[in-house]
């Protein structure tokens, strides 16, 4: 429900920027990590705690590791990149901040991209979000073993969203290539082909990859702590959106009332957060975000959002190969991505 703006000791009220001294310390730490080729010649990947990262992700992640103090009422929305985090953020934001009468004519999501409404932990800056201190929402692409220890120790809740790896790969490839074209026009021609990138992905070399290890970490944790970690699949959310939205509200501790369901609040939230609705908002069609000293179009967060789109870019043989890899890697875990 609508949250208070009164002050609190919640971690959402910490306002911190990485100092130049701290930044240099993390740069030195990064320079000592194993390094491999990234998906473009201009950027390498670094192996940190068993996962590959582009270097711009790591200083914030390391700063959070050393300084972030989670609170028991914090809620983290975690996911690998390009698995539906924009959709999850918008739904979660409206669920957590809803008032007794839903009104989509105003509100932060009309003027801010969802990633600005719910900050990413690894960007290294923590501030009071529009959700307020009663329901502090954070997001992260970090693998479970890379999360700050305080998140696990505090007992705060985690929602994890993953997606069929074939669709994830295709979306990831398009996103990085288009982001490169947006921020450094002309350099997208040096980006790996979709076939070359597929080889990297199948070998576990992708941003926050290996993908299967990212998924397995949260899956196993959700089995150990089901009351604290809600594990979701993008495909299930697309197929049973209303049930998943209600599940999120229950998990957040703010279930929909009988009156809200009768008044169609659940459907209103789903409609506002649909791909068609969000992608056509002015802020998401024409807005831009700064990434360092370069700007990137918000429209890059909205490509298709369709299940099974991989078939338009990968051969049946490539799809079968990745399915077989995932089946082998997930063997014995109880988790599967088979339709």
Q: Please choose, from the candidates 102, 125, 154, 66, the residue with its C-alpha nearest in 3D space to the C-alpha of residue 138.
A: 125
pLDDT at 338 over 50: yes
Least confident of 68-72, 103-107, 310-314: 103-107
Residue 37: left if φ>0, alpha if ψ -120 to 50, beta else—which one? beta
Read off the DSSP letter of residue 193.
Answer: P
Catalytic residue among 56, 67, 141, 214: 141
Mean pLDDT of 298-324: 86
pLDDT at 114 over 90: no
* DSSP secondary structure string for all residues of 59-125: HHHHHHHHH----TT-EEEE--TTSSHHHHHHHHHHHHH--SS---SSSGGGTS-HHHHS-BGGGS-
All domains of the chain in start order, with CATH:
11-329 (3.40.50.300)
Give the residue with greater pLDDT, 20 vs 103: 20
Q: Are strands 157-162 and 229-233 parallel, antiparallel or unpaired?
A: parallel
> 106 pLDDT band (50/70/90 cuts)?
low
Active site residue 174: no
Tokens representing 248?
A: 């999120």
Q: Please choose, from the candidates 78, 244, 241, 246, the residue with its C-alpha nearest in 3D space to the C-alpha of residue 159.
A: 78
pLDDT digits (tens, 9 = 90+) for 183-239: 666 666 678 899 999 999 999 999 999 999 999 999 999 999 999 999 999 999 999
Give the residue with greater pLDDT, 231 vs 12: 231
Give the residue with greater pLDDT, 139 vs 299: 139
* DSSP secondary structure string for all residues of 240-252: SHHHHHHHHHHHH
Give the residue with greater pLDDT, 191 vs 44: 44
**What is residue 209's three-state secondary structure?**
coil
* Mean pLDDT of the residues in the chain: 84
């Amino acid at each position: 429900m609508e949250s208070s703006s009164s002050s609190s000791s919640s971690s959402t009220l910490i306002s911190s920027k990485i100092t130049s001294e701290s930044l240099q310390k993390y740069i030195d730490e990064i320079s000592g990590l194993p390094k491999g080729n990234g998906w473009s010649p201009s950027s390498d990947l670094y192996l940190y705690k068993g996962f590959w990262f582009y270097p711009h992700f790591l200083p914030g992640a390391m700063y959070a590791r050393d300084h972030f103090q989670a609170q028991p009422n914090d809620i983290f929305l975690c996911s690998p990149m390009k698995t539906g985090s924009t959709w999850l953020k918008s739904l979660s934001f409206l669920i957590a901040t809803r008032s007794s009468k839903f009104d989509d004519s105003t509100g932060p999501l009309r003027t801010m991209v969802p990633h600005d409404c719910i900050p990413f932990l690894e960007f290294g800056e923590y501030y009071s979000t529009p959700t307020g201190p009663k329901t502090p929402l954070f997001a992260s692409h970090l693998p479970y073993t890379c999360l700050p220890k305080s998140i696990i120790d505090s007992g705060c809740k985690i929602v994890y969203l993953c997606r069929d790896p074939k669709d994830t790969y295709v979306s990831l490839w398009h996103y990085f290539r288009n982001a490169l074209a947006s921020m450094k026009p002309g350099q997208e021609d040096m980006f790996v082909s979709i076939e070359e990138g597929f080889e990297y992905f199948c070998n576990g070399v992708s941003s926050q990859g290996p993908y299967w290890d990212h998924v397995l970490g949260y899956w196993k944790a959700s089995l150990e702590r089901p009351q604290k970690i809600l594990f979701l699949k993008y495909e299930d959310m697309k197929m049973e959106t209303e049930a998943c939205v209600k599940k999120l509200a229950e998990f957040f501790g703010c279930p929909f009332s009988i009156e809200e369901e009768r008044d169609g609040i659940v459907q209103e939230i789903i409609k506002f957060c649909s791909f068609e609705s969000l992608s056509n908002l002015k802020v998401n069609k024409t807005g831009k975000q700064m990434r360092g000293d370069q700007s990137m179009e918000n429209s890059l967060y909205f490509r298709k959002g369709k299940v099974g789109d991989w078939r338009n870019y990968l051969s049946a043989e490539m799809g079968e190969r990745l399915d077989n890899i995932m089946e082998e890697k997930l063997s014995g875990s109880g988790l599967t991505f088979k339709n």
